[in-house]
Amino acid sequence: MTVAIISTGGTISSISDEGTGATPELEGSYLVDSLPVLDRGPPIETCEFANVPSAYLTIEQMSSLTEVVQEYSRNDDLTGIVVTVGTDVLEEVAYFVDLCYGGPTPDEYRDDCGSRELRA
């Protein structure tokens, strides 16, 4: 069984930039590859949905994100779906997707800061 990781950008995908402080540039596949602990788990499929500062996510993008989550949820070969979202709008995106999503209810929404610690 595979886990899908849908990357949207935000804090977790950012690198230091002297001019602006941080810029989202890392793709979800890079984040997965940078965490060797994930090699011990199920196979991972990444989806590069967006790579923007989380505060820049629009309602239209959140609606499209919901559609992507719904599409993945119809795949019986998936164990789970993870959406990486920056901390600026984590709750708002989770709430929006929860309201608009018509599939099975996820077990939890959370910001797993451990992945950033491992990357650092």
Residue 120 to residue 117: CA distance in whole angstroms: 5
11 included as an active-site residue: yes
Q: Which of 10, 9, 7, 4 is nearest to 70 (CA)?
A: 4
Find the catalytic residue in 8, 11, 66, 84.
11
Residue 62 to residue 12: CA distance in whole angstroms: 18
Residues assigned a catalytic role: 11
